[in-house]
Structure 1
Amino acid sequence: MKKINLSDEAWAVLEARSYDPFAYLGRHPEGSGVVVRAFKPRAEKMWLLPEGGKAMPMARIEGTDFFEKQWKSGDLDRNYRLRIEQADGHSWEEEDVYRFAPILGEMDLHLIGEGNHFEKYRIMGAHVREHGGVSGVSFAVWAPSARRVSVVGNFNHWDGREHQMRVRGGSGVWELFIPGLCEGETYKFELRSQHGEVFEKADPYAQQMELRPATASVVHNAKAYTWSDDAWVDNRAVLQAADKPMSIYEVHLGSWRRQADDGSEYMNYRELAHQLVEYCQWMGYTHIELMPVTEHPFDGSWGYQTVGYFAPTSRFGTPDEFRYFVDYCHQNNIGVFLDWVPAHFPKDAHGLARFDGTPLYEHEDPRLGEHKDWGTYIFNFGRNEVRNFLIASALFWLDEYHLDGLRVDAVASMLYLDYSREEGEWMPNKYGGRENLEAVEFIKQFNCLIHERFPGAVTMAEESTSWPMVSRPVYLGGLGFTMKWNMGWMNDTLSYFENEPIYRSYHHHALTFSMVYAFTENFILPFSHDEVVHGKGSMPQKMPGDDWQKFANLRLLYTYMYTHPGKKLQFNGLEFGQWPEWNFDVSLSWDQANFMPHRGLQLMMRDLNHLYRDVPALHEVDFDGAGFQWIDCNDAEQSVLSYIRRDKNGGPVVVVLNLTPVPRDHYRLGVPLAGHYNEIMNSDAKTYGGSNQGNAGGVAAEEKPWMNQPYSVSLTLPPLSCLIFRPAQA
């Protein structure tokens, strides 16, 4: 046993507070030779194993768990290993962690500091790689205010004294390569704050995490999966163009359908892929939008309180199984969008909150840094590294998982500093305004990079205010989103339909008002999960009247939605009108879909989806006034609306809505062309559960001008119905 006075660097390692354990551990010139030092708590003996040489016992430094060995001068660059023996006689060999050079280059650190390292997910976190001729895992984490950071896991008994990381200059990035580790290893980072507190955190860049309630990160090797969706990805810019149909099925994977009879078990990503694709193909949806599958600790947050911005939730399987989900959808011509949450994050102890003992990802001042309504922290969009973290996350999902776009949650809360705050609870910007200037610049950069790097990818804003040009390009002064949810249309439409029909004539403007602003943005018409939860009632519960009228209203509502300009989004369960409100913790009420009137509604939605895809006039000109023309928007007395939708060549379909339960015979309607008009949709058909009134498949136009149209038809309007007519020559 060797007795020696310890240096400051040695004491820092011994007390687990080292910024740079490499300054003392590993191989160092000493005198005319070399000294190798190692630190191994619980070791009884250690040997140095030089490459091609004999084992040499190492001396313990008295009173410590340091071991060292003097070596001859010619062996400065010679590789070596260590043999460790514990008091119980158990022994093993391993590489010396502290003999390996850094992995992150100066350019990496420079770009990270600038906030412009858009592929940070390739270097931060944990990555299986070869380094110095040895296989292992590299770790990197940003924690600029930490006094010490260690990698802990089963491989070191979760002991933060081992595997202390080194900080790279003033970057705040800590890194370490641990040879011998492989995919599947669980780990966390143990940090010591400037005030001396020691705590563990999950890896912000982890690409896999343990199943809750466990909170460790898991080493994942993304290179193992082979994709088979080239045909879809290569053609995505065409498939998702503005003139193509987009009928989105919003899905909560945990409650769409469950495996066990008692509903207790989730299906995995592979099972969900096969069943969802089969269902969506039958129903005619073009896309699936997943409520957040980014890893989250609390089921009741539905995924909106994310801790793993680079990890698909382990509730449904592994990252590669999620890749299979997306791949299988693409192979069957169904796009996949992800609900992504950059507005806020939860306060869970293992997550981003106070990550290095300070407000790192969030603002320190609660007037800027907290959402009291949600009990969450707000990202500090003005900090380069934080902005970079979020943009790298967005790009990661499109790059590593081939996703076709992102729906950005709670955009309004990002744009306004006074969002859901009373006077005195918020801080104005530098100009005295309420706009969050840093968040606006982040959103613009996010959209520019998505569209630049992934042509055809879609970004969608859930934004409910009058902020201008949300879906206009950044170079024109917009925020750069592809589309925006039309929350005004949704609220006005549901408010109208919740009225008893006898009162609807007094609220006629609620339906016509949307056309005043319909083309100011590229709109999606959403009936989302938010409308059927928290006491708002299911869709059938919202509708007035008896059961027959409730479902007639629903059929009318959905056909109105599909004939109104804008792309479409419908939450799972709405398509067959399940009676109970949505509950995240149980499966949808699929048994109801086997019986009328739910079955009829589902069959109508199926036909409507396919009609929407097959008839260009219903989807080609959604974002321009040339695709829409009123026939009569003023028949409030009878609560009848009529309009024309046109394709790019001007080809029309005629839509007429009877918004009361009163059938209307001989209703004269102006039409744009002569000839026969085929009735291509009647929401009152018997197949759908209706009264089966209508026009025997079509009507002939008369040369009788009406409603500023050169021709007209005499129609039977069924009760609470939507009729769609298409000229036979179209």
Structure 2
Amino acid sequence: MSELSGAINSLIAGHYADPFSLLGMHETENGLEVRALLPDALDVWVLDGATGRKVGQLPRIDDRGFFCATLPRRKRPFHYQLAVTWAHAALVIDDPYRFGPLLDAMDIWLLAEGTHLRPFERLGAHLVTLDGVEGTRFAVWAPNARRVSVVGEFNFWDGRRHPMRLLRENGIWEIFLPAVHAGQLYKYEVVDVHGNVQLKADPYAFEAQMRPETASCVVRLPPKVEPNAQRRQANNFDAPISIYEVHLASWRRHTDNNFWLSYQDLATQLAEYANEMGFTHIELLPINEHPFDGSWGYQPLGLYAPTLRFGTPQDFRCFVDTLHEAGINVLLDWVPGHFPTDAYGLAQFDGTALYEYADPKEGFHQDWNTLIYNYGRHEVRNYLAGNALFWMEHYGIDGLRVDAVASMIYRDYSRAQGEWVPNYYGGKENLEAIAFLRYTNNMLGHARPDAITVAEESTDYPGVTLPPGCNGLGFHYKWNMGWMHDTLNYMQQDPVHRKYHHDKMTFGMLYAYSENFILPLSHDEVVHGKRSLLDRMPGDVWQKFANLRAYYGFMWAFPGKKLLFMGGEFAQGREWNHDTSLDWHLLDEPEGWHRGVQQLVKDLNHCYRDQPPLYQLDFQPEGFEWRVVDDRENSVFAFIRRDRQGNEVLVVSNFTPVPRQGYRIGINQPGCWREILNTDSWHYHGGNLGNGGGLESEAIGSHGRAHSLVLTLPPLATLYLAKEVP
């Protein structure tokens, strides 16, 4: 009895490593013995699960709620239940400790190796039926914990009641709790390596409470979404891709109380608006559950849980479905680079640096006061890679934009000398992070070939969009941060000074085919004092709007896919504020400046989609040809875009407020050229100077070509002219 008393003390104190060896039914020399820990219970009987008859009573042998007895006339284990009487209730329950191990040998192996394709199917909370009993299976990785218990509404948040089984092979704790059903809240009570008690949210929770609450919620894993050929085609390198980047909390709000729209309202309105505007894709700023609104979702703690700010996970699934039905692909901003330090999250999960690097020189991000994932751990890589597949398979997400890739692949990112730890070879590259990105992109390429990954990578790291087999990182696309910075810097110059910065508009073509680029005008360019895109344009009101329209025209024709942050499509005048709606009222102003820009972006998108020369050969040199590259004095640029059939579109930009009459440009194909877009059109609130809808070429040589066009170039404007096909 003294040995049993010691075990009971250890169990209740949280130091008993294997509660399943003590609790439940066990074969002993004296027969079948049943032991149960039921704090506050008054009376406990063992029932035959098949007949419901009482088999024997369990007397309390410890005042803290430990019951134990040897059953008479029973020699072999059988299906049993417990009839428990408390002060105010009597229930028949299934004993969690009568169920055997839940993970099979293959799952245990793959999870330890970090190569489980779908770790979210085994870890976390899953509604299942075992031996005819409905309940929830829980599993969590915490290899250095002394004890882990599931606590929740179903057990009075009491960590004594349901300590879990430790699988020593891989450090995973597991338990099946009968009668725990969908919608119930839970956490893990962790007695960490130091003996401290922590309450942790489930890293694999499919639903999580919204701040300030922090519990996880039992819900079913959403059904899989099958790949779709049409959406796959829309992601292709030779497809027109125009992305509308959206922060759901501030795109639109209820006008009466400035509160968020629901997923349902957002789906209906976004689908209609994006379709009307001609965007092919919507990219959402992170929608993973996150504790701080001001992080815009970039400090997530519920990687597997869509935020409840706008509705349930089922509502988010319907949101994605609605956009798909409207023919719009959905991209998610994905943050595998860092996570916040909130105590209920991943930080020091079992009392050790489990998910993060232990050394602050590796594991603490100084810019964002966040922790950096330890990509050297198999289980951490598996947690992140599995999450990428989860969003694609179970929500039908068509691609992930991976945030802050440079911060992942460089150990010295934003660190001074002496503040970072070199890699094994003494270099600055984070070899584990690079291996993680290659593994993830390679895995997704095989498991979900219809989806894409996009890198926000701000350096010149080579081969970001090369396959892993070619020593690349394996992304499909990369944000062209250099093009964005150069061209915005040019546009911010007074037109009289632009001739001294001419190369900033042409430099991008020197490396245009080194990666598969997306041209991004993202949320980062309209915050933190950078001003709105409109406000960065020089000149009076007319010139500001004309500059912006001309710039958009240049961008939509330049090689590379397109991305525009919300508000940019109607030239919002102030910086983006995540706490309020976009300034939609600007579209009602009688002057019409903002409506003009909105109409232009709409026409740019539809023209772009209708003209294969503008997108089909984005990443092949034969799709682009400079016609005017060195006219610094006039700040004029002209180039040809071409498709596989040889059809051409001539693009001409005049970035001074001076009209250019009789401007001759050599062309490859003589004949009639139609003006298909003019950013100075009166439709866009411009001056309506142009070329009368089209013009015939002349047999006069120019720019090394035998034929030429003589154009009227409007001030601060971009023209598109398409060669008419006979």
Q: Where does structure 2 lack aligned partners over 5 or more consecutive residues? A: none
The answer as to 2:126 corresponding to 1:127 is: yes
Q: What's the counterpart of residue 449 of structure 1? A: 443
Q: What's the counterpart of residue 174 of structure 1? A: 173
Question: Partners of 1:62 and 1:569 in 2: how far apart?
Answer: 67
Q: 1:53 to 1:522 in 2, by over 3 A?
A: closer
TM-score of the superposition, structure 2-length normalised? 0.98
Q: Which amino acid aligns with 1:21?
A: P
Q: What's the counterpart of residue 71 of structure 2? A: 71
Residue 14 of structure 1 and its aligned partner are, at CA, apart by 2.0
Question: Partners of 1:628 and 1:352 in 2: how far apart?
Answer: 48
Residue 402 of structure 1 and its aligned partner are, at CA, apart by 1.0
Q: Deviations over 1:353-390 (max 9, x none)?
A: 11111100011101111101100011111111111111
Structure 2 matches for 1:201-600, cutoff 5 A? Answer: 201-223=200-222, 233-263=228-258, 265-595=259-589, 596-600=592-596
The answer as to 2:664 corresponding to 1:665 is: no
Q: Deviations over 1:474-524 (max 9, x none)?
A: 111211110100000000000000000010011101101111111111000
Structure 2 matches for 1:175-194, cutoff 5 A? Answer: 175-194=174-193
Contact 2:14 2:146 in 1 (8 A): no
Residue 30 of structure 1 and its aligned partner are, at CA, apart by 2.3
Question: Partners of 1:68 and 1:202 in 2: how far apart?
Answer: 33
Residue 650 of structure 1 and its aligned partner are, at CA, apart by 1.9
Q: What's the counterpart of residue 721 of structure 1? A: 717
| Match of residue 28, structure 1, among 6, 10, 26 | 26
Question: Partners of 1:385 and 1:541 in 2: how far apart?
Answer: 47
Q: What's the counterpart of residue 41 of structure 1? A: 39
Contact 1:9 1:23 in 2 (8 A): no
Q: 1:528 to 1:240 in 2, by over 3 A?
A: same
Q: Which amino acid aligns with 2:216?
A: S
Question: Partners of 2:78 and 2:229 in 1: how far apart?
Answer: 49
Q: What's the counterpart of residue 648 of structure 1? A: 644
Q: Which amino acid aligns with 1:622?
A: D
Contact 2:187 2:199 in 1 (8 A): yes
Question: Partners of 1:490 and 1:321 in 2: how far apart?
Answer: 35
Residue 728 of structure 1 and its aligned partner are, at CA, apart by 1.2
Q: Deviations over 1:336-357 (max 9, x none)?
A: 0110011111101111111111
Residue 70 of structure 1 and its aligned partner are, at CA, apart by 2.0
Q: Which amino acid aligns with 2:68?
A: E
Q: Which amino acid aligns with 1:27?
A: M
**Where do 4+ consecutive residues of structure 1 move more than 4 Å?**
none
Q: Deviations over 1:658-691 (max 9, x none)?
A: 0011111111111211111100000000110100
Question: What SS class does the counterpart of residue 344 from structure 1 fall into?
Answer: coil
Question: Partners of 1:726 and 1:571 in 2: how far apart?
Answer: 28
Question: Partners of 2:317 and 2:101 in 1: how far apart?
Answer: 31
Q: Which amino acid aligns with 2:558?
A: H
Q: Which amino acid aligns with 2:37?
A: F
The answer as to 2:98 corresponding to 1:104 is: no
Question: Partners of 2:411 and 2:639 in 1: how far apart?
Answer: 41
Residue 267 of structure 1 and its aligned partner are, at CA, apart by 1.3
| Match of residue 11, structure 2, among 10, 13, 31 | 13
Question: What SS class does the counterpart of residue 314 from structure 1 fall into?
Answer: coil
Q: 1:62 to 1:19 in 2, by over 3 A?
A: closer
Contact 1:552 1:684 in 2 (8 A): yes
Question: Partners of 1:487 and 1:64 in 2: how far apart?
Answer: 63
Q: 1:507 to 1:5 in 2, by over 3 A?
A: closer
Q: Which amino acid aligns with 2:32?
A: V
After alignment, is 311-320 or 143-152 more displaced?
311-320
Q: Which amino acid aligns with 2:699?
A: E
Question: Partners of 2:139 and 2:278 in 1: how far apart?
Answer: 45
Question: What SS class does the counterpart of residue 110 from structure 2 fall into?
Answer: helix
Q: Which amino acid aligns with 2:708?
A: S
Q: What's the counterpart of residue 85 of structure 1? A: 85
Q: Deviations over 1:42-84 (max 9, x none)?
A: 2122222222143343200043311123213546332222122
Contact 2:83 2:93 in 1 (8 A): yes
Q: Which amino acid aligns with 2:4?
A: L
After alignment, is 655-664 or 321-330 more displaced?
321-330
Question: What SS class does the counterpart of residue 538 from structure 2 fall into?
Answer: coil
Question: Partners of 1:85 and 1:478 in 2: how far apart?
Answer: 64
Question: What SS class does the counterpart of residue 8 from structure 2 fall into?
Answer: helix
| Match of residue 700, structure 1, among 696, 702, 711 | 696
Question: Partners of 1:67 and 1:578 in 2: how far apart?
Answer: 69
Question: Partners of 1:490 and 1:239 in 2: how far apart?
Answer: 24
Question: Partners of 2:498 and 2:64 in 1: how far apart?
Answer: 84
Question: What SS class does the counterpart of residue 4 from structure 2 fall into?
Answer: coil
Question: Partners of 2:444 and 2:344 in 1: how far apart?
Answer: 30
Question: What SS class does the counterpart of residue 271 from structure 2 fall into?
Answer: helix
After alignment, is 417-426 or 65-74 more displaced?
65-74
Contact 2:626 2:640 in 1 (8 A): yes
After alignment, is 68-77 or 606-615 more displaced?
68-77
Residue 408 of structure 1 and its aligned partner are, at CA, apart by 0.4
Question: Partners of 1:10 and 1:86 in 2: how far apart?
Answer: 21
Question: Partners of 1:594 and 1:565 in 2: how far apart?
Answer: 34
Question: Partners of 1:192 and 1:335 in 2: how far apart?
Answer: 44
| Match of residue 613, structure 1, among 609, 613, 617 | 609
Q: How many residues end up aligned between the 2 structures? A: 722
Q: Which amino acid aligns with 1:191?
A: V
Q: Deviations over 1:394-441 (max 9, x none)?
A: 111111111111100000001111000001100111111111111111
TM-score of the superposition, structure 1-length normalised? 0.97
Q: Which amino acid aligns with 2:124?
A: G
Q: Where does structure 1 lack aligned partners over 5 or more consecutive residues? A: none
Residue 85 of structure 1 and its aligned partner are, at CA, apart by 2.0
Question: Partners of 1:329 and 1:209 in 2: how far apart?
Answer: 24
Question: What SS class does the counterpart of residue 565 from structure 1 fall into?
Answer: coil
Q: Which amino acid aligns with 2:373?
A: F
Q: Which amino acid aligns with 1:627?
A: G
Q: What's the counterpart of residue 626 of structure 2? A: 630
State the superposition RMSD in angstroms: 1.4
Contact 1:9 1:21 in 2 (8 A): no
Instruction: Give % identity.
Output: 50
Contact 2:234 2:329 in 1 (8 A): no
Contact 1:684 1:691 in 2 (8 A): yes
Q: Which amino acid aligns with 1:50?
A: D
Question: Partners of 1:455 and 1:8 in 2: how far apart?
Answer: 56
Q: What's the counterpart of residue 61 of structure 1? A: 61
Question: Partners of 1:456 and 1:631 in 2: how far apart?
Answer: 37
Contact 2:108 2:169 in 1 (8 A): no
Q: Which amino acid aligns with 2:95?
A: D
Question: Partners of 2:290 and 2:574 in 1: how far apart?
Answer: 26
Q: Deviations over 1:455-478 (max 9, x none)?
A: 131110000111111111111121
Residue 238 of structure 1 and its aligned partner are, at CA, apart by 2.2
